[in-house]
């Protein structure tokens, strides 16, 4: 696998419009070279072995205009900052699974089993350079910035896992899985910080599925998940450098069913989860007068709870038509979380809208012509945990028409048909000289776009 992407990056405008004023166009480039090997061994009557190994070497070049403006926009103040990040990442993975066959079942020949191990080695080197000049003639004040940070992050993960699947009666099936993982980290940077934490993590699941008939299945599960801790790279305060492991308990109950000669397919579930030391993505401006000091990092909240419902239905009135609808209802809040800026205990979590909706339809003619219309809607949501600013609810419609053959597809598409203006990210900080008042800056979603695409399959 080889990938070479060289994109620009200018996602924000001071006036929250779709026109950026940057005089130092950003860059978001990535070059990756990787390979994957999958081996299946089927030489036993009782089990088979699957082994997957992969290696990926990635070079990432990311930069942006930190002040988002140009000389004319900030006149008479000189305000010119830029941030550059060069990242080199090497990842090695290996996973081996031993999977039972019918002759290898245990417990009187009724229980399927699986055991395996997983290892991952990650080595990431990062160089961050922040530079800038500031001069305010009104106060005769000048400042400059030229900071560099080099860091080396190494992580080694090793895991053992297993699963048992046992029938209960003629229509029930019980599944039990367990996973133990150890993570060792070594972090070193040019400021002399050297940390070597280790973590032992345990996860698992107990699930039961019951077939009411050949068209309807009920299921429930209790699971414990985890997310390993780590480090925030780049210019992050020492106290925010490290974040801890997160754990989650989740219970779910649901149904899957087919109706009307399989022309209607329905699925739905209700879930409730408790997250301890919840990892949250947030941001913080270290120096109010330095836009390059606005950093993104992962932090830990004390505890979070989530109650949600998901449902989807698909209807096939004939061989040419398909209609679908999905809905999600969510109540996700922090039980206890105090940041340096604000206490948000009891508040909704960031990027957790109370509802999401997607619906649409597809028509495919036997000749190969097709058309599709999709509609999505999302409720308002909090942008971040460092402030209380919110988005507005919005909806977007997309459409396409095309032709598909056995080996190729061409289509004319229109995204955001009604040119809806909506925000996908939002930050609240000071970025306008000379007084730098805190303000909400949003990243707009893509405006109306029209295009043609062509795909070929070999």
CATH number at residue 239: 2.40.170.20
Contacts of 15 (CB under 8 A, 6+ apart): none
Summarize the confidence of residues 39-59 as an average pLDDT. 97
Tokens 């922090």 belong to residue: 334
* pLDDT tens column, 281-313: 877 777 766 666 777 788 887 789 999 999 999
Gyration radius of the chain over CA positions? 26
Residue 123: both structure tokens together: 């080595």
Could you tell me which residues are beta bridge partners of residue 273? Answer: 250, 306
Residue 340: its pLDDT value, please? 65
Q: Please provide the DSSP assignment of 294-308 as one string.
A: EEEEEEE-SEEEEEE
By CB neighbour count within 10 A (0-12 exposed, 13-18 middle, 19+ buried), where does 65 fall? buried
Residue 323: both structure tokens together: 């209609």
Contacts of 277 (CB under 8 A, 6+ apart): 244, 245, 246, 247, 300, 301, 302, 303
Residue 301: its pLDDT value, please? 79
Residue 12: its pLDDT value, please? 86
Contact 147, 203 (CB under 8 A): no
Give the count of beta carbons closer than 10 Å to the beta carbon of residue 84: 18
Res. 129: pLDDT tops 90: yes
Residues 192-228 as b/e (b if ≥16 CB within 10 A, e otherwise) read eeeeeeebebebbbebebebeeeeebbbebebbbbbb
DSSP E strands in 240-320: the ranges are 242-243, 246-259, 264-276, 279-285, 294-300, 303-315
What confidence category does residue 218 fall into, taking pLDDT thresholds of 50, 70 and 90? Answer: very high
Residue 199: its pLDDT value, please? 93
What are the distances in angstroms from CA 160 to CA 113, 164, 226, 319? 14, 14, 14, 46
Tokens 């019918």 belong to residue: 102
Predicted structure pTM score = 0.88
Q: What percent of the chain has pLDDT over 70?
A: 98
Residue 292: its pLDDT value, please? 64
Residue 242: its pLDDT value, please? 84
Range name among 57-61, 297-301, 444-448 with the lowest pLDDT average: 297-301
Summarize the confidence of residues 50-58 as an average pLDDT. 98
The SS3 call for residue 331 is strand
Residue 105: its pLDDT value, please? 95
Res. 202: pLDDT tops 90: yes
Measured CA to CA, the distance from residue 220 to residue 386 in angstroms comes to 36
Residue 289: its pLDDT value, please? 65
Q: What is the extent of the structural domain holding 364?
A: 2-456
Residue 244: its pLDDT value, please? 87
Measured CA to CA, the distance from residue 9 to residue 63 in angstroms comes to 7
Q: Cα–chain-centroid distance for residue 310?
A: 19
First vs last C-alpha separation in the chain: 16
Tokens 């070049």 belong to residue: 61
Q: Please provide the DSSP assignment of 34-75 as one string.
A: EEEEEEEE---SSEEEEEEEEEEEEEEEEEEETT---HHHHT
Res. 447: pLDDT tops 70: yes
Residue 376: its pLDDT value, please? 98
Res. 35: pLDDT tops 90: yes
> For residues 238 and 309, which has the higher predicted lDDT (pLDDT)?
309
Residue 288: its pLDDT value, please? 66
Range name among 82-91, 242-251, 288-297 with the lowest pLDDT average: 288-297
Contact 385, 426 (CB under 8 A): no
Summarize the confidence of residues 56-61 as an average pLDDT. 97
Residue 399: its pLDDT value, please? 98
Residue 425: its pLDDT value, please? 92
- Residue closest to 165 by CA, chosen among 153, 155, 173: 173
Residue 338: its pLDDT value, please? 73
Contact 199, 182 (CB under 8 A): yes
Range name among 80-84, 141-145, 298-302, 418-422 with the lowest pLDDT average: 298-302
Residue 434: its pLDDT value, please? 87
- Residue closest to 186 by CA, chosen among 178, 171, 197: 197
The SS3 call for residue 239 is helix
What confidence category does residue 85 fall into, taking pLDDT thresholds of 50, 70 and 90? Answer: very high
Summarize the confidence of residues 85-111 as an average pLDDT. 96
> For residues 396 and 385, which has the higher predicted lDDT (pLDDT)?
396
Summarize the confidence of residues 80-100 as an average pLDDT. 96
State the chain's mean pLDDT as an integer. Answer: 93
Sign of the C-alpha dihedral, residues 37, 226, 239, 438? Answer: positive
Measured CA to CA, the distance from residue 352 to residue 350 in angstroms comes to 5
> For residues 432 and 54, which has the higher predicted lDDT (pLDDT)?
54
Contact 113, 105 (CB under 8 A): yes
Residue 241: its pLDDT value, please? 80
Q: How many domains does the chain contain in total?
A: 1
* pLDDT tens column, 316-356: 999 999 999 999 999 999 987 876 667 788 899 999 999 99
Residue 106: both structure tokens together: 């245990």
Measured CA to CA, the distance from residue 197 to residue 180 in angstroms comes to 17
């Amino acid at each position: 696998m080889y990938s070479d992407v060289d994109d620009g990056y200018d996602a924000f405008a001071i006036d929250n419009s779709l026109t950026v004023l940057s005089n130092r166009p950003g860059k978001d480039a990535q070059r990756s070279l990787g390979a994957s090997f999958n081996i299946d061994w089927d030489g036993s009557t009782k089990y088979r072995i699957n082994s997957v190994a992969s290696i990926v070497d990635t070079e990432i070049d990311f930069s942006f205009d930190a002040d988002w403006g140009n000389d004319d926009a900030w006149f008479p103040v000189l305000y010119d900052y830029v941030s550059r990040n060069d990242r080199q990442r090497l990842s090695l993975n290996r996973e081996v699974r031993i999977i039972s066959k019918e002759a290898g079942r245990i417990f009187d020949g009724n229980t399927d089993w699986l055991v395996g191990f997983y290892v991952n080695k990650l080595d990431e080197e990062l160089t961050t350079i922040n530079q800038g000049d500031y001069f305010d003639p009104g106060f005769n004040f000048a400042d400059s910035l030229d900071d560099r940070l080099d860091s080396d992050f190494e992580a080694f993960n090793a895991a053992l896992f297993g699963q048992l699947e046992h029938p209960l009666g003629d229509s029930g099936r019980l599944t039990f899985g367990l996973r133990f993982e150890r993570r060792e980290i070594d972090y070193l940077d040019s400021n002399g910080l050297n940390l070597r934490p280790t973590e032992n993590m345990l996860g698992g699941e107990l699930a039961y599925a019951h077939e009411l008939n050949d068209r309807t299945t009920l299921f429930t599960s209790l699971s414990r998940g985890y997310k390993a801790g780590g480090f925030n790279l780049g210019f992050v305060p020492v106290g925010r450098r490290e974040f801890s492991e997160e754990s989650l308990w989740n219970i779910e109950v649901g149904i899957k069913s087919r109706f009307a000669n399989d022309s209607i397919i329905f699925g739905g579930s209700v879930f409730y989860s408790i997250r301890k030391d919840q990892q949250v993505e947030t941001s913080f401006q270290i120096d109010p007068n330095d836009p390059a000091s606005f950093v993104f990092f992962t932090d830990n909240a004390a505890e979070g709870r989530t109650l949600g419902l998901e449902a989807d239905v698909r209807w096939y009135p004939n061989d040419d038509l398909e209609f679908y609808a999905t809905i999600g209802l969510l109540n996700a809040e922090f039980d206890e979380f105090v940041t340096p800026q604000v206490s948000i205990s009891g508040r909704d979590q960031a990027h957790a809208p109370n509802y999401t909706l997607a619906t649409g339809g597809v028509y495919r003619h036997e000749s190969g012509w097709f058309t599709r219309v999709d509609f999505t809607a999302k409720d308002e949501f909090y942008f971040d945990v460092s402030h209380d600013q919110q988005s507005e609810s919005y909806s977007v419609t997309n459409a396409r028409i095309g032709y598909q053959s056995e080996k190729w597809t061409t289509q004319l598409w229109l995204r955001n048909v009604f040119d809806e203006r909506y925000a996908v990210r939002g930050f609240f900080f000071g970025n306008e000289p000379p007084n730098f008042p805190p303000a909400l800056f949003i990243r707009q979603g893509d405006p109306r776009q029209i295009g043609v695409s062509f795909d070929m399959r070999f």
